[in-house]
Amino acid sequence: MAEAMSQNRKVGFSLARHSTGIIASVLFLAPIVWTVLSTFKPAQEARQPPLPPWPTTGFSIENYQTLNSFGDGLWVSAQNSIYVSVMTVLLSVLVSVLAGYGFSRFRFPLRDFFFVLILSTIMIPFQSILTPIFLVLTKLGLHNTLTGLVCVYVTLQLPFSIFMMRNAFDAVPREIEEAARMDGANNVTMLIKVMLPLVWPGVVTIALFAFLGAWNEFLAALVLMTDQSKFTLPVMMTALQSGRFGAIDWGAVQAGVTVMMVPCLILFLALQRFYIRGLMAGAVK
């Protein structure tokens, strides 16, 4: 009797837990799913409220096709976003791996000073130094260039990614290095052939954060990219949503938002383990 009661309670608890989980999941996923489904409506239907969210008057990719007809076209902005994000990933990985290795394995003058200097930039909001960044880029001839934007994004990534990489290198036992040195490996071959495979998870983590950071950043891109042909996706889509190209085409806005969201969602789902790892590292420090 008592056993049956506790069995019932268990089932009840599990039922309550899963209904809570499912309802909450639906609430969190609904806006994303709603948007993605709505993009496949014909333009005419996309102007109406999305009730129901799925296309009722036939499946269409019209909304994606019209995206290219605004200003310089969405494809240009997409290319800009891809270029900026990929370059940010490559450069921040390169710079952080080198710096992480340097901070972890060498004792040179001012080492601690430089490390604290880089980490402490996280305390200062970049929003407050955007004007001088604008002037510095102008001085360097990088004004209104995607390369200039990449430099800014890489710098913003450095405190997190150098912290990650130094910890990753610290975790590699010294014996491995000494053995390799006995075999005649110099610093560079050691870093590439011996160390890199061991700190690989850290590299994936910082690459993922660099990509998401650059792909989604809005304010710096809005301020620093004044020429429409240099707009990244968030800036371009905001211009479209503000009615800069005539009446607001909500179908196109939804399609643009989908283009912006999908790479982030796919990367996260594929590399979730590394993402959570990065969050943990940030949280534990």
Partner 1 sequence: MTAITATSAPARLRIGVSRRQWVGLLYVLPAVALVTVFFVIPLGMTAWMSLHNWPLMGEHAFIGLDNYFAILRDTRFWNALKFTFYYTVIVTIAIFAVAFPLAIFIEKPRPLTNLYRTAFFMPAVVGFASASLLWSWLLNVDSGLFSPAAYDLGLTERKVNLLATFQPAFWSIIAMVVWKVAGFTMIILMTGLQSIPQDLQEAAVIDGAGPFARFRAITLPLMRRTLALALILSVAGSILAFDQFYIILRGGPRNQTLTAVYWIFNQSFVSFKLGYGAALSMVLLVILVALSLIQLWLLRKPEGLD
Which 184-243 positions form the footprint of partner 1 (CB under 8 A)? Answer: 187, 212, 215-219, 223, 234, 237-238, 241-242
144 binds partner 1 (CB under 8 A): no
Specify the stretch interacting with partner 1 by CB under 8 A; choose among 58-66, 72-80, 108-116, 198-206: 108-116
Q: Give the whole-angstrom CA distance, residue 73 versus residue 60.
A: 20
Specify the stretch interacting with partner 1 by CB under 8 A; choose among 27-35, 65-73, 171-179, 193-201: 27-35
| In the complex, least distance from residue 67 CB atom to partner 1, rounded to whole angstroms | 13
29 binds partner 1 (CB under 8 A): yes
Nearer to partner 1, 5 or 116 (CB): 116
Contact 106, 166 (CB under 8 A): no
Contact 206, 93 (CB under 8 A): yes
| In the complex, least distance from residue 1 CB atom to partner 1, rounded to whole angstroms | 25
57 binds partner 1 (CB under 8 A): no
**Helix residue ranges, H only, 47-73:** 62-67
Q: Which of 7, 8, 19, 25 contacts partner 1 by CB under 8 A?
A: 25
The H or E element that residue 34 is part of is: helix 2-38
| CA-angle at 202, arms to 201 and 203, nearest 5° | 90
Measure Cα distances from 53 to 33, 35, 49 in Å. 9, 8, 9
Nearer to partner 1, 132 or 173 (CB): 132
